[in-house]
Amino acid sequence: MDGTVLQQTSDTDAQREAVIRVRNLTNQFGSQVVHQNLNLDVWRGEVLGIVGGSGTGKSVLLRTIVGLNKPAAGSIEVLGVDVLNGPEQERRRIEKRWGVAFQDGALFSSLTVLQNVMAPLREHTGLSEKLMQALGSLKISLVGLPQLSCEKFPSELSGGMRKRAALARALALDPEIVFLDEPTAGLDPIGAAAYDELIGELQHALGLTVFMVTHDLDSLYAICNRVAVLAEKRVLVEGRIEEMTKVDHPWVQEYFTGPRARAAQEKGHDR
């Protein structure tokens, strides 16, 4: 890989399963090259935090992996399936095995919370209306929303509740992988901490693999097993968060050794 991997190879590492493999990825918009020869592995069962400065393409990488952006070059495998060039039927099948919660929730404004959560079930399953409603209600409870929220529209919810509703929709099909784009952006510290705790609990209880784009140092220290830093159009470095301070790069040093990082680290140790 072209990124620096800080973790030493061990027998445990060799036995890990990469559920996402990105190789030699290039993303380009006109003359602007966002990523070039980017490589990344995501291990089953981990929470991987994707960080980087503004314009490094964190959300672009997420959107490319889930098929919302077509790269200029490279390959992407998710759960063993080539999601760029594989058969359409295989790609459709694999899409049922991941869920996505976008930064702003991306909920359908004309649908209630329950209808939003039922949307993936309606698209990908042949379940009865009654069963879809029951499953949707279950997912809404799972993310800590009251049942009264089922009949509310997104505009009637707080920002934190919309994020939880989006997470419930991402979990609708019982995915193996969940993609989160800036999940705590716009939340107050208490709401952000509660959301981090929820993600940690769900990841542990459901055995999820979590791919999380974030700038929130508190989230990184609270729930991430590893961190991948995007810089210089690639994954510059990846490894455990406590190892990031050893990286001799100006942005990495400033981000992981500054006062906010020290405060987040102390808070993470207290949890």
* pLDDT (mean) for 250-261: 83
Say if 70 falls within a structural domain.
Answer: yes
- The pTM of this model reads 0.90
Rounded CA gap, 73 and 87, in Å?
Answer: 18
Q: Which residues, listed in sequence order, are joined to residue 4 by a DSSP beta bridge?
A: 237
* Pair (125, 45) in one structural domain: no
Asked if residue 207 belongs to a domain, the reply is yes
Residue 185 three-state SS? coil
Domain count for the chain: 2
8 A C-beta contact, residue 178 and residue 171: yes
What pLDDT score does 259 carry?
67
CA distance 211 to 235: 14
pLDDT tens-digit readout, 217-234: 999 999 999 999 999 999
Tokens of 259: 């006062």
pLDDT number for residue 1: 42
* 161 within domain boundaries: yes
227 and 93 in a common domain: yes
Q: Which domain holds residue 128?
A: 107-174
Q: Is the pLDDT of residue 36 over 70?
A: yes
Is the confidence at residue 34, as pLDDT, over 60?
yes
How high does pLDDT run on average in the chain? 90
Rg (CA), the chain: 19
**Are the CB atoms for 110 and 155 separated by under 8 Å?**
no
Instruction: Tell me whether residue 55 is in a domain.
Output: yes
Residues 191 and 91 grouped into a single domain: yes
- DSSP E strand boundaries for the chain: 4-5, 18-29, 32-43, 47-52, 73-78, 81-82, 98-101, 177-181, 209-213, 226-231, 234-239
Domain boundary among 154, 174, 194: 174
pLDDT, tens digit (0-9, with 9 covering 90-100), for 177-233: 999 999 999 899 999 999 999 999 999 999 999 999 998 999 999 999 999 999 999
